[in-house]
Chain A
């Protein structure tokens, strides 16, 4: 009896102790490792077998992927896709188009409602970006195991492609 009251008071004490500590607020902004260029570099390195896209590799090896040295300035533009949400979070893509080609995809908003979704998002996002740049389209296979994230991504990216007037 005496011991169970110790356990109970301990529980209250422990809970109170943790509750007064500050905590990173949720929902969390999904942190994607590096920018899309870095992501591409990672994937190019990891893809075994088939030769990686030469364009992606070259771009990745240059420290800053954005500034294309030669062509006229207006060739690069950034288009924002639609804001898509589902029960697990929300997402809005930011697509960079250079000379009519999708060269980079980032996010203006990428929020997971919970940790589990966030871990899926973190895992899926680089793959989705890589796939869509390779395909130059929003019609990609998606990431198995991240169905919702993939659908959100495709939807938002399709809106951006439509807005940019690309044929994809």
Chain B
């Protein structure tokens, strides 16, 4: 191993030192050692007001949409046979479609909501609301068919056939509906487990097509739009805004950032068994709007793996011109990490996530990490305000799984905090309220940040709640999406 600049506290000279070594011995980068530094400048704080504005707008939009549907109805049409079913069918169509657009907007990476809500919470809402939207759309189909059948005194199947074959755009609507159902069904836990992530993603991607397909039948035949140019304008604007948010924030911004920062792997070195750090070089990294604790979606542009995006937290604050992620080889891309060699081009989406210093209201913090979950905690330790009072718990099944703990120790010491290492399996070190209370007696007065496997996170949160910590002082983020 080459001698390192571990004790050099100056970030610029550390980078220069590294660059020098790179030129001198391009094949021996394994001795690269990241220099922990402290950042006290508060950066990229999310503005909760933006989220409030978006919430209001979403609500107002829902109200307007429903009202436009209601006022297009007449009493005489309601009292006719099938009138009520038809009316219900129309309203559920409006509510369902609007909700579907909101569901899509939630995951559009709109910074106004992304940065203060956090990506995982938005994904959770996306998952909870999408089935409701789907149910409303199913109800729409059933009720309209029923209403027409009653109105014409014909069978339901006949009415269905008449609707699908005669009304303008109904084939598009039917196709869109089928795509929605496919995306919904493949997202159920049972189906999801049997599909690869990529297969699920491809099916999910077609919902954009489904949403576009659904637009035309609505403005062509929807009773709320057909005779009301204002309603048509409104609906077109809603569709347009959602589409613009998706194209801008999900495609153009990531593309632009990837090109602008021009990222490339410069070193891959082991941190522990099965865990590696990947150092990525790029331009203008001081302009990447990232907070400690955030993650990015990483795409390593190598044949066979370029189309997979992996959510990895930065395991240190950027040290221009370098970024670092630390990755445990898990799941179906374990072998592929070996293909990530120096020189590999990298595309990014992000940074995302609200697991940052800005989530805390208190200055006393407890940071808890299990295994490789240490990465966002490690980055956050550099980014916390100077006056923060810090306790850190690192959990691992054995010493070798304890990664980055020396860097964490260095940062905790510099900040005058306390580091607790809990090493041993579940039987040796059971996670009990008394143990946690012993380690952190003032847990109730702290803000808890926790990152680790789902089971561990749940158990620790249960313990913290048991010890009297309120849930709005508990922050965790999941990467299982």
Chain B residues 67-88 with CB under 8 Å of chain A are 67-68, 70-74, 76-77, 80-82, 86
Whether, in the assembled complex, A55 has its beta carbon less than 8 Å from a beta carbon of chain B, the answer is no
* B-chain residues with CB within 8 Å of residue A18 when the two chains form the complex: 63-64, 67-68, 71
Interface size, A (range): 35 or more
Q: Which residue of B lies closest to A14 (CB)?
A: B63
Whether, in the assembled complex, B429 has its beta carbon less than 8 Å from a beta carbon of chain A, the answer is no
* A-chain residues with CB within 8 Å of residue B73 when the two chains form the complex: 26, 114
B60 touches A11 (CB 8 A): yes
- Contact (A19, B67) CB under 8 Å given A3-B55, A26-B227: yes
Q: Which residue of B lies closest to A111 (CB)?
A: B76
B221 touches A87 (CB 8 A): no
Chain A residues 1-37 with CB under 8 Å of chain B are 3-4, 6-19, 21, 23-28
A6 touches B52 (CB 8 A): yes
- Expressed in whole angstroms, the Cα–Cα distance for A14 and B58 within the complex equals 10
- Expressed in whole angstroms, the Cα–Cα distance for A21 and B60 within the complex equals 15
- Expressed in whole angstroms, the Cα–Cα distance for A133 and B127 within the complex equals 57
Partner of A145, one of B74, B167, B226: B167
Q: Which residue of B lies closest to A10 (CB)?
A: B59
B74 touches A11 (CB 8 A): no
A16 touches B226 (CB 8 A): no
- Expressed in whole angstroms, the Cα–Cα distance for A114 and B400 within the complex equals 71
Whether, in the assembled complex, A162 has its beta carbon less than 8 Å from a beta carbon of chain B, the answer is no
Whether, in the assembled complex, B270 has its beta carbon less than 8 Å from a beta carbon of chain A, the answer is no
B167 touches A26 (CB 8 A): no
Partner of B166, one of A19, A27, A144: A144
A145 touches B60 (CB 8 A): no
Whether, in the assembled complex, B397 has its beta carbon less than 8 Å from a beta carbon of chain A, the answer is no
Whether, in the assembled complex, B51 has its beta carbon less than 8 Å from a beta carbon of chain A, the answer is yes
- Expressed in whole angstroms, the Cα–Cα distance for A21 and B152 within the complex equals 33
- Expressed in whole angstroms, the Cα–Cα distance for A30 and B165 within the complex equals 22
Whether, in the assembled complex, B222 has its beta carbon less than 8 Å from a beta carbon of chain A, the answer is yes
- Expressed in whole angstroms, the Cα–Cα distance for A12 and B59 within the complex equals 8
Interface centre among B64, B66, B153, B221 (most CB of A within 10 A): B64
* A-chain residues with CB within 8 Å of residue B61 when the two chains form the complex: 10, 14
A13 touches B227 (CB 8 A): no
Chain B min CB distance to A134 (Å): 22
Chain B min CB distance to A97 (Å): 31
- Expressed in whole angstroms, the Cα–Cα distance for A13 and B60 within the complex equals 6
- Expressed in whole angstroms, the Cα–Cα distance for A88 and B167 within the complex equals 13
B55 touches A7 (CB 8 A): yes
Whether, in the assembled complex, A120 has its beta carbon less than 8 Å from a beta carbon of chain B, the answer is yes
Whether, in the assembled complex, A116 has its beta carbon less than 8 Å from a beta carbon of chain B, the answer is yes
A87 touches B55 (CB 8 A): no
Interface size, B (range): 35 or more
Chain A min CB distance to B377 (Å): 28
- Expressed in whole angstroms, the Cα–Cα distance for A118 and B81 within the complex equals 18
A10 touches B55 (CB 8 A): yes
A115 touches B66 (CB 8 A): no
- Expressed in whole angstroms, the Cα–Cα distance for A6 and B58 within the complex equals 9
* A-chain residues with CB within 8 Å of residue B64 when the two chains form the complex: 14-15, 17-18
Partner of B67, one of A15, A24, A88, A147: A15
Whether, in the assembled complex, A123 has its beta carbon less than 8 Å from a beta carbon of chain B, the answer is yes
- Contact (A27, B74) CB under 8 Å given A86-B152, A87-B151, A145-B166: yes
* B-chain residues with CB within 8 Å of residue A9 when the two chains form the complex: 56, 59
* B-chain residues with CB within 8 Å of residue A110 when the two chains form the complex: none
* A-chain residues with CB within 8 Å of residue B239 when the two chains form the complex: none
* B-chain residues with CB within 8 Å of residue A13 when the two chains form the complex: 59-60, 63
Chain B residues 133-167 with CB under 8 Å of chain A are 151-153, 162, 165-167
- Expressed in whole angstroms, the Cα–Cα distance for A119 and B73 within the complex equals 15
- Contact (A6, B151) CB under 8 Å given A14-B67, A113-B76, A114-B77: no
* A-chain residues with CB within 8 Å of residue B86 when the two chains form the complex: 114
Chain B min CB distance to A24 (Å): 6
A12 touches B152 (CB 8 A): no
Whether, in the assembled complex, A153 has its beta carbon less than 8 Å from a beta carbon of chain B, the answer is no
- Expressed in whole angstroms, the Cα–Cα distance for A144 and B166 within the complex equals 7
Chain B min CB distance to A54 (Å): 32
Chain A residues 143-163 with CB under 8 Å of chain B are 144-148
Chain B residues 206-241 with CB under 8 Å of chain A are 220-228, 230
**Which 4 A-B pairs have CB atoms at the shortest separation, nearest pair first?**
A10-B59, A14-B63, A145-B166, A115-B223
Question: Would you give 29 A-B contacts (Cβ < 8 Å), ordered by A?
Answer: A3-B52, A6-B55, A7-B62, A10-B63, A11-B66, A12-B63, A14-B59, A14-B60, A14-B61, A14-B63, A14-B65, A15-B64, A16-B63, A18-B71, A19-B67, A26-B227, A86-B152, A87-B80, A88-B152, A113-B76, A115-B223, A116-B221, A116-B226, A119-B167, A120-B167, A123-B168, A144-B166, A147-B162, A148-B152
Residues of chain B having any CB pair with chain A under 8 Å: 51-52, 55-68, 70-74, 76-77, 80-82, 86, 151-153, 162, 165-168, 220-228, 230
